[in-house]
Amino acid sequence: MDVTVQSSYDDVIETGVKVYPASLHDFSVKNTDDEALSTAFGGLTGGETLLKEMNLATSYSADSNGEFTVLLPDTSVLAANTIYEMEISASGYNSETLTLDSNTISHNVVLTEASTAITLTGNIRTVGTQNLLQNPPVVELSYGDGTSDILSVLVASSTQASFSHEVDLNLKSLKLLSIRQSESDTLELNISNIIQTQSLYFSLSNNKTIDTTSGSSGGGSISFLSLFSFVILLLSVRRIKMLRKPVE
């Protein structure tokens, strides 16, 4: 509305002033644990021409109780299809954007912690005669709280497999990654220091002991110790015969 200011003093010039109806908006910012966020910050957009004309601030900081107030001209005075928006943010939290009008002036904002999700991808291959198609590997991810997940593994061939798993480090702390396969030695990797997305590569060694003995068609295999004992026995018999040989 237009208001004319008059004065009874001769040296004061009569002037016209524009007056806008206003609404006082109250903001309270907390986290999901109902704790006040004193580091909350509010950034105002929309109706920039009017805000600049009235020299209104567009940024606000919360007090120790996570609260701040904003005095805004009534939205009815804005140009058609123009709105105010307030982006509420705080370090370590996902921001929220509010649409402001004069019908709602009390705003209770709850910010959620920013996701720190990482993705662990792994590529598994064999270095022996293991068959991953017949005996798929089992990948287990253990967390600091004592819980664990069995990860989904994609077996591409008898010698190659892979996995991909997302973990939110706000909810879980990493501890150990283990890979078990019936024909292979178990692999265990300490991953407690991983804080970002990682690609891991694993080689599975064959756990089967190679039999180096040879066997005959009828008598089975002869161990090295048995063969060694047999040689000693033959030498002993030969020496006895030599000692008993008559002197000519």
The 10s digit of each residue's pLDDT in 200-216 is 999 999 886 444 333 43
Confidence of residue 21 (pLDDT cuts 50, 70, 90): confident
**Single-letter amino acid code for the residue at 12:** V
* Same fold across 16-111 and 117-204: yes
117/225: higher pLDDT:
117
CATH number listed for the domain at residues 16-111: 2.60.40.10
3-state secondary structure the chain: CEEEECCCCCCCCCEEEECCCEEEEEEEEEECCCCECCCCEEEEECCHHHHHHCCCCCEEECCCCCEEEEEEECHHHCCCCCCEEEEEECCCECCEEEEEECCECEEEEEECECCCEEEEEEEEEECCCCCCCCCCCEEEEEECCCCEEEECEEECCCCEEEEEEEEECCCCCEEEEEEECCCECCEEEECCCCCCCEEEEEEECECCCCCCCCEECCCEECCHHHHHHHHHHHHHHHHHHHHCCCCC
Tokens of 146: 């004592």
Read off the pLDDT of each residue in 6-26 and give the average, rounded to a whole number: 73
Confidence of residue 225 (pLDDT cuts 50, 70, 90): very low
Architecture of domain 117-204: Sandwich (2.60)
- Judged by average pLDDT, the poorest of 70-74, 115-119, 139-143 is 115-119
Q: Tens of pLDDT along 142-189? A: 999 999 999 999 999 999 999 999 998 888 999 999 999 999 999 999
Query: What rounded mean pLDDT belongs to the chain?
Result: 81
Q: Tens of pLDDT along 52-73? A: 888 889 999 999 999 999 999 8
- Judged by average pLDDT, the poorest of 10-19, 27-36, 217-226 is 217-226
> Do 113 and 122 touch, CB atoms closer than 8 A?
no
pLDDT at 5: 56
Q: Note the pTM of the prediction, 2 decimals.
A: 0.52
Tell me the domain boundaries of the chain.
16-111, 117-204
Query: Does residue 25 surpass a pLDDT of 50?
Result: yes
Strand partners, 5: 15
